[in-house]
Amino acid sequence: MTPVPIQQRTFEFACRIVKLHEHLCNKGSATASRLGDQLLDSGTSISANLEEADAGQSRPDFISKCNIALKEARETKFWLRLLAETNQVKPELLAPLTKEISEIIAILTTIVRKSRKE
């Protein structure tokens, strides 16, 4: 099985975040909607920053964009945890997204560390 490139993986993750955001907005709760907005911003920014990294003008620019994507991934993990802990969404429904963002964080951490050493 060929691994999915990180750009594709984060794009697919962003699509799932958009769907979760729609669910939160349809829930009718102002809290769920506001938390969903935060999640939408950070969760879709990961992929966008990796696209920018691919077009980086220099190695430092590439590293900077990857580092921003990593920070956005960590923020996304926070919002997912908060949604689960405050019962805005059933934790078991968020588990696949939480697992995926943890894996994305690990991959991005490796990319940033290796890129800094080169």
pLDDT tens readout for residues 47-62: 999 999 988 889 999 9
Cα R_g (the chain), whole angstroms: 15
Measured from the Cβ of residue 18, the count of other Cβ atoms closer than 10 Å reads 14
Cβ pair 83, 66 in contact under 8 A: no
What pLDDT sits at residue 117? 86
CA distance 89 to 36: 11
pLDDT at 2: 61
Q: For the CA atoms of 39, 93, 31, 45, what is the dihedral angle to 10 degrees?
A: 0
Cβ partners under 8 Å of residue 61, min gap 6: 53
Domain map (residue ranges) of the chain? 6-117
Report pLDDT digits (tens) over 9-22. Answer: 999 999 999 999 99
Write down the architecture of domain 6-117 according to CATH.
Answer: Up-down Bundle (1.20)
